[in-house]
């Protein structure tokens, strides 16, 4: 069909079918303008919106609201984007050519309307796909389709987390059955000792990048296996290993059936490490190679990113589970049970050791990296026993620090501000330091005003959400009315949102409630807090911390000044990171491998107040944010917590609050604004996903694909 003959509805349908729209604020705005109330109601899902409205109403509405030009413009821009050939990748990743990187991850957080992520790992994977698309890197994502997602969070009247699950309808999501080169639907099979598991495969288009999602909800499976992929991180160890053989082994098979020959296999975290074993099997079969050579060849083209700085956080499986699920593959590889188990053990012959997915990943890849400089040190120390003959700093685990996808996280209003001072094509060159330097020329008044606008928007949004939460709990009308005026748009606003895992210490600041009461109820320099975050359904200590936060939000003087917003997701994250003044991050060092939410915040002009852990340990320079503590840790957890809590309150009262409230005759906090600019200038170029993906290409993908080698940074 020629473009001219397409109706607006056709064009919108095509746009809605590729998640490219989700990082184009102008295109998102077009969908919203079709019917703002429905847009919210339908979870920002254009396919559902178009389905509900129908072609006639869409055409009518487009005429009424004068949307023709914007729709045509969006459609043209999308085609230009898809067809562009002069990308960074064309120049720097040519060796990948017809053999893309296959990027495996258990979760992908691309947009709130496709809820197949739980937190940072997923959002990182989503940002990786988007930047790869923008940069023109040949890459295909491989994951699982969780038909019930992670879960929807609400709190009961006592602040205890409730989880609800709803079935997603693939028909109303931006995905279609993946196809073989002959146009047939893709179905793969993974054998276990207790029978085969089948999966169909969906294809999601993320700009120029494809994402394949395996889904066991097919007739041929048993009732139990049909539900196998329904929930992310749900079920027991057996569910877990069955999901992981699907992701790893099934994922490699799906690529093969589709005729995609990867030049690089990238395992994002250990969940997908079985991919290495299946790749070895294919190699042995295709090239009639013995196991050892096939292992060497596979490792040479494989890359592993580790994310977990504590031994307990790594997936481990018993010999029985491994035998049941990997046995058939091990037979084909010619591996005895002991040899197989040895691949997942630090000491291959130690029969007391469980099978660890990270150990397997390290053994089937030649290039491995941690996700921040400090995490690199921690990871080399943790895995030093794998190579007892090597000194710790020679352990071959480098680091590539995580970054965030700028177009996804930067507020449209901030972008327009940057457009005025940054070079013309800055948007396509966010990984270059020079590009960000002119941020210093931003007018202090305009920057502050823009920030204040975004902050007001966040506060309005938070009030609405609180009212909705209260209605759900059947609160009285007067309570609901009161919630319409919580938070003060002039007060220093601190955001804290992340998974409620205990090491993130959401309640750290409550250790000295007396001092906090004073700070919150100050007449002239008040501070206020917005909290959000989910606990894993099985994490009772995490849920208790959440409940503690909830109880604080109900007590005077915190009520209305400390609030909790439920069901943290990408949408809520976007509002928060674009609207707060300060982003609080106080994990127990060194347990935060990187963290990325603080990077989203700095782009939007907020300041980080953070423990020197993860990315912040290498980002903080003394005047681009605030540091809690000095990076010292204590073996005694209680002592470390007490020290950090004390330092947090000290920095807050002595540095953060005074700087925020010190105003000039125009009521501008000049010192604060200088820090905002300094954060953007010194950090914007380093902690973004374009820079991260470029690092992966140069340091991992190109060498792994057989291009010029390059030593991974330590």
Ligand X SMILES: *Cc1c(COP(=O)(O)O)cnc(C)c1O
Which chain residues interact with ligand X by CB under 6 A?
A: 119-120, 123, 498, 568-570, 573, 595-597, 600
Distance of CA 100 to the CA centre of its chain: 22
Contact between residue 409 and residue 596 where contact means Cβ atoms under 8 Å apart? no
**Residues in contact with 503: Cβ distance below 8 Å, sequence separation at least 6, in sequence order:** 310, 587, 588, 591, 592
**Angle at the Cα of 606 from the Cα atoms of 601 and 609, rounded to 5 degrees:** 90
Nearer to ligand X, 120 or 149 (CB): 120
Nearer to ligand X, 95 or 573 (CB): 573
Nearer to ligand X, 58 or 689 (CB): 689
Least Å from the CB of residue 619 to ligand X: 13
Least Å from the CB of residue 265 to ligand X: 25
Least Å from the CB of residue 590 to ligand X: 14
**Angle at the Cα of 627 from the Cα atoms of 414 and 684, rounded to 5 degrees:** 30
Q: What tokens appear for 607 in the block?
A: 């300041």
Least Å from the CB of residue 403 to ligand X: 11
- Determine the 3-state secondary structure of 536 from DSSP: coil
Contact between residue 340 and residue 330 where contact means Cβ atoms under 8 Å apart? yes
Contact between residue 133 and residue 516 where contact means Cβ atoms under 8 Å apart? no
Cα-flanking dihedrals φ and ψ of residue 203, to 5°? -115, 130
β-partners of residue 562 are 529
Nearer to ligand X, 569 or 699 (CB): 569
Contact between residue 539 and residue 505 where contact means Cβ atoms under 8 Å apart? no
**Residues in contact with 475: Cβ distance below 8 Å, sequence separation at least 6, in sequence order:** none
**Residues in contact with 9: Cβ distance below 8 Å, sequence separation at least 6, in sequence order:** 50, 55, 58, 59
DSSP secondary-structure letter at 233?
Answer: T
Cα-flanking dihedrals φ and ψ of residue 261, to 5°? -105, 105
Question: What is the rounded CA–CA span in Å between residue 200 and residue 170?
Answer: 12
Sign of dihedral through CA atoms 47, 52, 57, 62? negative
Contact between residue 3 and residue 191 where contact means Cβ atoms under 8 Å apart? no
Nearer to ligand X, 301 or 530 (CB): 530
Question: What is the rounded CA–CA span in Å between residue 98 and residue 571?
Answer: 35
Contact between residue 680 and residue 436 where contact means Cβ atoms under 8 Å apart? yes
Nearer to ligand X, 89 or 595 (CB): 595
Nearer to ligand X, 225 or 566 (CB): 566
- Determine the 3-state secondary structure of 11 from DSSP: helix
269: nearest Cα among 237, 315, 200 = 315
Nearer to ligand X, 360 or 506 (CB): 506
Residue 29 class from Cβ within 10 Å (0-12 exposed, 13-18 middle, 19+ buried)? Answer: middle
702: nearest Cα among 133, 89, 96, 139 = 96
Nearer to ligand X, 119 or 431 (CB): 119
Question: What is the rounded CA–CA span in Å between residue 142 and residue 214?
Answer: 8
Nearer to ligand X, 272 or 596 (CB): 596
Question: What is the rounded CA–CA span in Å between residue 622 and residue 645?
Answer: 20
Least Å from the CB of residue 627 to ligand X: 16
Nearer to ligand X, 257 or 577 (CB): 577
Nearer to ligand X, 253 or 534 (CB): 534
Least Å from the CB of residue 172 to ligand X: 22
Least Å from the CB of residue 596 to ligand X: 5
Least Å from the CB of residue 287 to ligand X: 41
Least Å from the CB of residue 532 to ligand X: 9
Least Å from the CB of residue 109 to ligand X: 6
Least Å from the CB of residue 119 to ligand X: 4
Least Å from the CB of residue 543 to ligand X: 17
Nearer to ligand X, 234 or 251 (CB): 234
Least Å from the CB of residue 311 to ligand X: 20
Nearer to ligand X, 408 or 624 (CB): 408
Least Å from the CB of residue 404 to ligand X: 7
- Cβ-count burial 556-573 (b if 16+ within 10 Å, e if not): eebebbbbbbbbbbbbbb
Nearer to ligand X, 281 or 600 (CB): 600
| CB atoms near residue 119 (< 10 Å) | 22
Question: What is the rounded CA–CA span in Å between residue 8 and residue 13?
Answer: 8
Nearer to ligand X, 131 or 323 (CB): 131
| CB atoms near residue 653 (< 10 Å) | 16
Least Å from the CB of residue 112 to ligand X: 8
Q: What's the N-to-C CA distance of the chain in angstroms? A: 53
Cα-flanking dihedrals φ and ψ of residue 483, to 5°? -65, -15
Least Å from the CB of residue 576 to ligand X: 9
Contact between residue 607 and residue 679 where contact means Cβ atoms under 8 Å apart? yes
Helices (H) and strands (E) in the chain, counts: 31, 20
| CB atoms near residue 159 (< 10 Å) | 18
């Amino acid at each position: 069909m020629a473009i001219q003959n397409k109706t607006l509805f056709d064009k919108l349908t095509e746009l809605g079918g590729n998640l490219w729209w989700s990082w184009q604020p102008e295109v998102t705005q077009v969908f919203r303008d079709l019917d703002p109330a429905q847009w919210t109601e339908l979870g920002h899902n254009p396919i559902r919106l178009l389905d509900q409205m129908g072609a006639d109403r869409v055409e009518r509405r487009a005429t009424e609201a004068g949307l023709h030009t914007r729709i045509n413009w969006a459609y043209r821009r999308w085609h230009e984007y898809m067809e562009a050939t002069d990308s960074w990748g064309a120049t720097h990743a040519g060796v990948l050519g017809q053999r893309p990187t296959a990027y495996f991850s258990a979760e992908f957080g691309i947009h709130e309307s496709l809820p197949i992520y739980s937190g940072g790992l997923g959002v990182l994977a989503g940002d990786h796909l988007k930047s790869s698309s923008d940069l023109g890197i040949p890459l295909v994502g491989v994951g699982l389709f969780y038909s019930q997602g992670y879960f929807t969070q609400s709190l009961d009247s006592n602040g205890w987390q409730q989880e609800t699950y709803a079935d997603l309808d693939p028909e109303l999501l931006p995905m279609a059955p993946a196809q073989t080169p002959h146009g047939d639907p893709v179905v793969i099979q993974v054998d276990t000792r207790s029978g085969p598991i089948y999966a169909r495969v969906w294809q999601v288009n993320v700009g120029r990048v494809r994402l394949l999602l395996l889904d066991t909800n097919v007739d041929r499976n048993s009732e139990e296996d049909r539900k196998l992929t329904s929930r992310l991180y749900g079920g027991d160890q057996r569910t877990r290993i069955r999901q992981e053989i699907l992701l790893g082994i099934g994922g490699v098979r799906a690529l093969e059936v589709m005729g995609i020959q990867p030049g690089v296999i990238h395992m994002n975290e250990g969940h997908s490490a079985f991919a290495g074993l299946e790749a070895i099997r294919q190699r042995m079969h295709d090239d009639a190679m013995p196991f050892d050579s096939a292992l060497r060849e596979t490792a040479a083209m494989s890359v592993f990113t580790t994310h977990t700085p504590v031994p307990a956080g790594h997936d481990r499986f018993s010999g029985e589970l491994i035998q049941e699920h990997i046995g058939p593959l091990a037979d084909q590889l010619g591996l005895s049970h002991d040899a197989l188990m040895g691949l997942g053990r630090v000491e291959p012959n130690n029969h007391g050791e469980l099978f660890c997915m990270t150990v397997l990943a390290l053994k089937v890849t030649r290039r491995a990296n941690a996700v921040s400089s400090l995490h690199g040190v921690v990871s080399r120390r943790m895995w030093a026993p794998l190579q007892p003959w090597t000194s710790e700093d020679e352990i071959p685990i480098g680091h590539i620090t995580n970054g965030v996808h700028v177009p996804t996280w930067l507020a449209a209003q901030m972008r327009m501000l940057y457009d005025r001072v940054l070079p013309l094509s800055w948007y396509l060159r966010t990984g270059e330091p020079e590009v960000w330097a002119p941020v210093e020329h931003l007018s202090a008044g305009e920057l502050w005003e823009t920030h204040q606008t975004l902050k007001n928007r966040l506060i309005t949004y938070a009030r609405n959400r609180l009212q909705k939460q209260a209605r759900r709990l059947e609160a009285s009308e007067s309570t609901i009315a009161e919630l319409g005026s919580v938070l003060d748009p002039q007060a220093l606003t601190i955001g804290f949102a992340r998974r409620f895992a205990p090491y993130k210490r959401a309640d750290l600041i409550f250790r000295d409630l007396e001092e906090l009461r004073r700070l919150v109820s100050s007449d002239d320099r008040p501070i206020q807090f917005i909290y959000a975050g989910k606990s894993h359904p099985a994490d009772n200590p995490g849920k208790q911390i959440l409940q503690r936060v909830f109880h604080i939000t109900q007590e005077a003087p915190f009520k209305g000044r400390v609030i909790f917003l439920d069901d943290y997701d990408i949408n809520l994250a976007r509002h928060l990171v674009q609207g707060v003044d300060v982003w609080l991050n106080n994990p127990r060092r060194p347990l935060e491998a990187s963290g990325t939410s603080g990077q989203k915040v700095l782009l939007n002009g907020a300041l980080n107040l953070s423990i020197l852990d993860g990315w912040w340990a290498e980002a903080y320079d003394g005047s681009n944010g605030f540091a809690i503590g000095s990076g010292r840790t204590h073996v005694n957890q209680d002592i470390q917590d007490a020290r950090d809590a004390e330092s947090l309150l000290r920095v807050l009262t002595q540095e953060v609050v005074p700087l925020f409230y010190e105003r000039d005759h125009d009521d501008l906090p000049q010192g604060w604004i200088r820090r905002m600019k300094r954060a953007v200038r010194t950090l914007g170029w380093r902690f973004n996903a374009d820079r991260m993906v470029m690092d992966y290409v140069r340091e991992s993908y190109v060498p792994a694909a057989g291009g010029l080698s390059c030593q991974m940074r330590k």
